[in-house]
Amino acid sequence: MRPIFAKPLTAGFPALALGLLAGFHLSVAGANTGSDALSDIQDMVKNGQLPNALEKVDSYIAAKPKHAKDAQARFLKGVILGEMGRPADAIAVYGKLTQDYPGLPEPYNNLAVLYAQQKQYDKARVALEMAIKTHPSYSVAHENLGDIYAQLASQSYDKALQRDSGSTGSQSRLAPIRQLGGAAVRTEPAASANVAPSSQPPKIAVAETARRIPEARTTPPAQANPVAAESSAGDGEFARMLQHWKSAWPRLDFTTALAYSISDLTCRIMRERIGPPGLSAGSANTMGGPGATGCRSEPRKSRFW
Amino acid sequence: MLKAVLVIACLALCANLWATENGKRPQNVSGGNSNPNPDSDAGPEARLARILDEIDKNRLGAALEEADALIRRYPNFRLAHLIKGDLLLARSRPISTFGNAANAPPEQLADLREEAVARLKAYRDKSSAARYVPRYLLQMRPDQRHAIVVDTDKARLYLYRNDGGRPRFVADYYITHGKLGSEKIRQGDRKTPVGVYRVTASLPADSLDRFYGSGAFPLNYPNEWDKRQGRDGDGIWLHGTPPDTYSRPPRASDGCVILANSDLVALSRNLQLGVTPVIISNSIEWLSYDDWQSERDAMSEKIEEWRSDWESRDYDRFIRHYARDFKAGSASARYFAQLKNRRALAAESIKVTLGNRQMFRNPGKEQMVVVSFDLDFRSNSLSSQTRKSQYWIREDGTWKIIYEGNA
């Protein structure tokens, strides 16, 4: 896996302003004091002055333990520790944050990223599910959860095929959050201009993390379209197997049922994921509609009747 | 939303249709949504079926839990890992087929797919093993506590108990057979023989390479009939799997019949060395108990006819039971030549008693029944007790003996 945290930051924090604005929804009451000090520390992180930044953030936290920016400061400490290659310490910071501020999705997300780096995908999955539980429309967590599931799948496949886990070559694209408040950005329609539709799976750039929007997931690559796959599968092995099955059970083919169930399932999951309750009806339609994803709701109907 | 309801309704109806078609409803497709006793059915097939069932019921979380439970029970069950992989990947991206591992060798995926099909098919078809009788088990010997029937096409082994001569279904297991199929003819043809065999020995695991798993039970291939047909090769065993895998693909062995180690251990408790019949078919023919009974009666009558015709000392009546291509086994050739002597037959009064009879129909294209019995022959001048075997075939519309020899 790519050591995301070790990568020096070059692109800055485009989400900073938004993130700070959104920070208020965390119901951490208080004035705006201290934000200058925190942004100074963030600048230090940006310039790679990590030990300095850690020192500063520590004294900031120590000086104002009940400060309104306490969560932001501690989160920043977690980011710095992660950057410094101290995942265990970072995990401790984020873990404490999730206890003290269970409503914040970002610490869960970054916990998941650290767990994923240590290949503890089940822990990562649980953390991301917590992030989504706190914020069902948190697109980064959804994105990362999808990636975790792909990693977990890959582990299962390796066991199925008894091969070395290194041989798949798949890399996690997990994105850490740099800044509290990224979760709220998703509801900002202006951000959509940022993502260009592509047949390639989206590569998450570190600095863009907080601006990722759900539309990127709703345009599945053409080759992943279940309908297309279904028609091409009619020729080969699958069709032969189907024939074999049909001789015994003319009306119900469990192998095809499995395939269809699974592709159906994907559709349902995608609809669930991209159509959270908070979303407007219009966008839910474009994202989750059967036409958009290529999902069909009643494949069995034509098969079994 | 409406569509989803439609799909579910359609599924429920399909399940019902299927259940009536097979006569017996498996416990996991119970028409309703209850699953009263999910663990009553041992073996991985029940769990596999439950995974699919949960998928059909739109419960991916439950399906994944079933997959995890399956893996906890059978940690090296590759198929379970593959299905789990699919269930996980489905949460990440759309998938459209079975086994979506990246860069997977297609033949390996095909093997796992074949195993899934074989296991599920056997599970869905399980009721026939209890309601019908394999045609082959016409009569078990009283001391044969169990009989084994293997269906290579279905990748399945069935264990039957001898209930006063009536076979009663006990259990069935997934098996692997020859990489190149069945009907072994030549040494090294990587095929599993088809015929009536028996377990001849037990080779404990510690005497074997780990490849053979929890043990091995050699069969008496080639039997008398195989030899007569010029079939060769040897070392056809029932054995287990290597430690790194719970099971192997349906077609993977060099001719042996392979079971999961736990299944082999369970099966071995019912094996009697030199006694337990192992009948290997490439496609079992099932009979109702009524049809089985009438086939058994017909064959019994034929053998009794042969016995009493021998006792009658009427050469023509006796010799009509023998096929045109009849050959005696080497050990009894001389004895049979005597029989052929009309005068020898006519001169003596004889008493023929058959005991411990067994009759197994031989699987395969030719109609044949393999019979063996303890022969007690008494005449004025001779008394002998031997165990004989006979192969009966259909010729000119009736059963005739094509081979006779010491068993």
Q: For the whole prediction, is pTM greater than 0.90?
A: no
Task: Return the CATH fold of A4-217.
Answer: 1.25.40
Query: Residue B324: in which H helix or E strand, if any?
Result: strand B322-328
> Are B88 and A149 in contact, with CB atoms under 8 Å apart?
yes
pLDDT at position B335 is 60
DSSP at B161: E
pLDDT at position A299 is 29
Chain-centroid distance, C-alpha B100: 33
Note whether A168 contacts B85, CB cutoff 8 Å.
no
Note whether B102 contacts A263, CB cutoff 8 Å.
no
For an interface test with A, the pick among B91, B151, B283 (most A C-beta atoms closer than 10 Å) comes out as B91
Asked if residue A8 has a cis previous peptide bond (ω within 30° of 0), the answer is: no
Please give the residue that has the higher pLDDT: either A208 or B298.
B298
Please give the residue that has the higher pLDDT: either B219 or B96.
B219
pLDDT at position A63 is 84
Query: Reduced to 3 states, what is the DSSP secondary structure of residue A173?
Result: coil
Name the β-bridge partners of B219.
Answer: B199
B282 to chain A, minimum CA–CA distance in Å?
15
Residues 6+ apart with CB under 8 A from B292: B133, B135, B137, B138
B78 chain-A contacts, CB cut-off 8 A: 159-162
Of B380, B247, B267, B372, the closest CA to residue B313 belongs to B380
**Looking at the complex, does the CB of residue A6 fall below 8 Å from at least one CB of chain B?**
no
Task: Name the pLDDT band for B101 (thresholds 50, 70, 90).
Answer: confident
> How far apart (Å, rounded) are the C-alpha atoms in residues B159 and B68?
29
What would the mean pLDDT of B42-62 be, rounded to a whole number? Answer: 83
- Going from N- to C-terminal start, the domains of chain A cover 4-217, 222-304
Of A156, A297, A300, the CB nearest to B81: A156
For A169-192, what is each residue's pLDDT tens digit?
455 567 677 777 644 433 333 333
Give residues 196 to 215 of A whose Cβ lies within 8 Å of B.
none
Chain-centroid distance, C-alpha B367: 18
Note whether B95 contacts A262, CB cutoff 8 Å.
yes
For B228-284, what is each residue's pLDDT tens digit?
899 999 999 999 999 999 999 999 999 999 999 999 999 999 999 999 999 999 999
Residue B82 in this model has a pLDDT that exceeds 70: yes
> How far apart (Å, rounded) are the C-alpha atoms in residues B148 and B277?
6
For A199-213, what is each residue's pLDDT tens digit?
333 222 233 333 333
> Are A61 and A77 in contact, with CB atoms under 8 Å apart?
yes
Report CA torsion sign: B194, A243, B116, B37: negative
In this structure, whether the domain defined by B289-406 belongs to CATH 3.10.450.50 is answered with yes
Nearest CA in chain A to B77: A160
Please give the residue that has the higher pLDDT: either A152 or B336.
A152
DSSP B352-383: EEEEEEEEEEEPSSS-EEEEEEEEEEEESS-E
Note whether B94 contacts A294, CB cutoff 8 Å.
yes
**Looking at the complex, does the CB of residue A245 fall below 8 Å from at least one CB of chain B?**
yes
Q: Scanning the structure block, which residue is given the tokens 């005068």?
A: B343
> Are A211 and A185 in contact, with CB atoms under 8 Å apart?
yes
User: Which residues of chain A register pLDDT less than 50?
Assistant: 1-32, 167-169, 182-305
Note whether A301 contacts B7, CB cutoff 8 Å.
yes
> How far apart (Å, rounded) are the C-alpha atoms in residues B69 and B74?
9
Q: Match domain B133-286 to its CATH number in 2.40.440.10, 3.40.640.10, 3.90.226.30, 3.40.630.30.
A: 2.40.440.10
Task: Name the pLDDT band for B304 (thresholds 50, 70, 90).
Answer: very high
Residues in chain B: 407
pLDDT at position B324 is 85
Burial class (CB in 10 A: 0-12, 13-18, 19+), B117: buried
Asked if residue A14 has a cis previous peptide bond (ω within 30° of 0), the answer is: no
Work out the angle between the directed axes of helices B78-89 and B106-124 (0-180°, nearest 10): 100
For B107-140, what is each residue's pLDDT tens digit?
999 899 899 989 988 888 887 788 899 999 999 9
> How far apart (Å, rounded) are the C-alpha atoms in residues A295 and B369?
56
- Going from N- to C-terminal start, the domains of chain B cover 2-124, 133-286, 289-406
Of B389, B384, B331, B386, the closest CA to residue B358 belongs to B389
Burial B266-298 (b: 16+ CB within 10 A, else e): bbbebbeeebbbbbbbbebeebeeeebeebbee
As given in the structure block, the two tokens for residue B53 are 């069932």
Q: Scanning the structure block, which residue is given the tokens 């029944």?
A: B369
